[in-house]
């Protein structure tokens, strides 16, 4: 019998990878995938590990399962509207409770050390327990007004003796005696700005303006020694100066307290002035009739020569009196109408006139 040929082993089928189905979209049709040529089996291993095969089988199951329809989230399977998910709230931060502030401890009461002597009792100083003193009721205190100064003005024609009376009263009351002639000489000697201005007018033969004279006086009464009052001798000389002085004092809250006017007949005044003698050395004044020197023409104080000034001659004295009556005379009714004028007869003795003057000043208060 012929020998049977051995049967050929069937060729092993090579497994090809499964084709991936095209993704279905609502709007665009699925794209056709081109078939890829089969790979040669020689190049692939005969068997794959079990894990790889399991993965492939899982992918096949997914591809074969029908696509799931989109679930309407607003309705559940029963057709009822779905409940809205609860809003997520952030966890609250843990807050610490504020503890009340600790109360301040009362001040400790210091006890005084015990006294060793039995005669002195021990005591305890308790400042916190002491009762508060009752406050005093507030009282409205009006501001104190400055005391009004005593402002005296001495008036009278030249040679009437007003300067003598003013100097005596100033000594008794302790008030400064201010004369315009002395003021001019003092400012000219010190070359002050006011003195230099006055010098310009005097050198040119012109009268010193009233404003400049008032400025000299106001500068003097601003000194500390005039706080209690002062005496003005021979100022003001015109009504314009009197008005200017009243305005300057009103700014300080002051006014003229009294005007003391001394007068005498004109011939008596001429006799007084023309008999006056002056020492060339020391300036002492004597009178040929009322107070003559022991030796005529010789000063009793220093032995110097005495003489009569040219402006003390009788004719010059009469001219000066006429100028006074025309310029200063209107001041008499001016102050009389103000009610502050006090008139004195200058023909009496110096002491007799002074007694009447002192009475009137004391009555001013």
- Please state, rounded to an integer, the average pLDDT across all residues of the chain: 76
Average pLDDT over residues 30-49: 52
73/84 Cα distance (integer angstroms) = 10
pLDDT of residue 92: 63
Q: Under CATH, what is the fold of the domain 150-264+328-363? A: Rossmann fold (3.40.50)
pLDDT at 281 over 60: yes
Q: Residue 241: name the closest of 259, 222, 217 by CA.
A: 217
* CA–CA dist 325, 156 (Å, integer): 10
CA 220 – CA 202 distance, rounded (Å): 20
Q: Mean pLDDT throughout 164-168? A: 93
Task: Over range 330-348, report the average pLDDT.
Answer: 94
Q: Which of 197, 199, 237, 347 is catalytic?
A: 237
Please compute Rg for the chain using Cα positions.
65
Which one from 149, 220, 244, 320 is the annotated catalytic residue?
A: 320
State the average pLDDT over residues 266-291.
91
So what's the pLDDT on residue 142?
Answer: 45
Distance CA 189, CA 180 (A): 14
Model confidence at 270: pLDDT above 60: yes
Helix spans in the chain (H): 50-64, 162-173, 180-190, 193-203, 210-221, 239-251, 266-274, 314-327, 331-338, 350-363
Q: Collapsing DSSP states into helix, strand and coil, what is residue 24?
A: coil
Is residue 239 pLDDT above 90, yes or no?
Answer: yes
- The rounded distance, in Å, linking the Cα atoms of 300 and 260 is 33
Percent of the chain with pLDDT over 70: 59
Taking the domains of the chain in order of start, what are their residue ranges? 150-264+328-363
Lowest mean pLDDT among 67-71, 99-103, 221-225, 319-323: 67-71
Q: CA 178 to CA 218: how far, in whole Å?
A: 11
Annotated active-site residue 309? The verdict is yes
Residue 59 and residue 20: Cα distance in Å, rounded? 9
167 sits in the region (left: phi over 0; alpha: psi -120 to 50; else beta) called alpha
User: Which pair of tokens denotes residue 204?
Assistant: 């040119």
| Residue 114: band (very low, low, confident or very high) from pLDDT cuts 50, 70, 90 | low
Among 149, 162, 220, 272, which one carries the catalytic annotation?
Answer: 162
- Say whether 162 is catalytic: yes
Q: Which residue has the higher pLDDT, 303 or 62?
A: 303
* Beta-bridge partner residues of 154: 233, 260
What's the confidence (pLDDT) of residue 208?
80
Q: Which of 149, 244, 272, 276 is catalytic?
A: 276
């Amino acid at each position: 019998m012929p020998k049977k040929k051995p049967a050929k082993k069937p060729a092993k089928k090579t497994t090809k990878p499964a084709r991936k189905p095209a993704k279905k979209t609502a709007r665009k049709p699925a794209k056709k995938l081109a078939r890829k040529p089969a790979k040669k089996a020689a190049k692939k291993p005969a068997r794959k590990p079990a894990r790889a095969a399991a993965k492939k089988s899982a992918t096949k199951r997914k591809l074969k399962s029908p696509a799931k329809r989109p679930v309407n989230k607003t309705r559940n399977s029963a057709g009822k509207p779905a409940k809205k998910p609860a809003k997520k709230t952030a966890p609250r931060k843990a807050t610490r409770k504020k503890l009340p502030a600790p109360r301040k401890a009362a001040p400790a009461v210091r006890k005084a050390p015990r006294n060793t002597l039995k005669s002195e009792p021990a005591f305890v100083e308790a400042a916190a327990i002491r009762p508060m003193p009752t406050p005093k009721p507030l009282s409205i205190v009006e501001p104190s007004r400055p005391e009004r100064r005593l402002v005296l003005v001495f008036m009278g024609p030249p040679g009437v003796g007003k300067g003598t009376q003013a100097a005596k009263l100033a000594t008794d009351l302790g008030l400064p005696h201010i004369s315009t002639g002395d003021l001019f000489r003092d400012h000219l000697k010190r070359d002050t700005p006011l003195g230099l201005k006055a010098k310009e007018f005097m050198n040119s033969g012109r009268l010193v303006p009233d404003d400049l004279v008032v400025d000299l006086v106001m500068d003097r009464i601003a000194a500390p020694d005039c706080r209690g009052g002062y005496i003005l001798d021979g100022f003001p000389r015109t009504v314009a100066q009197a008005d200017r002085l009243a305005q300057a004092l009103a700014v300080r809250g002051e006014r003229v307290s009294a005007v003391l006017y001394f007068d005498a007949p004109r011939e008596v005044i001429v006799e007084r002035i023309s008999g006056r003698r002056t020492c060339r050395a020391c300036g002492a004044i004597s009178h040929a009739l009322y107070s003559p020197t022991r030796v005529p023409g010789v000063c009793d104080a220093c032995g110097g020569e005495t003489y009569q000034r040219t402006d003390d001659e009788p004719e010059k004295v009469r001219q000066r009196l006429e100028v006074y009556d025309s310029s200063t005379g209107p001041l008499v009714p001016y102050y009389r109408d103000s009610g502050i004028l006090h008139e004195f007869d200058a023909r009496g003795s110096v002491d007799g006139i002074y007694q009447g003057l002192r009475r009137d000043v004391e009555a001013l208060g």
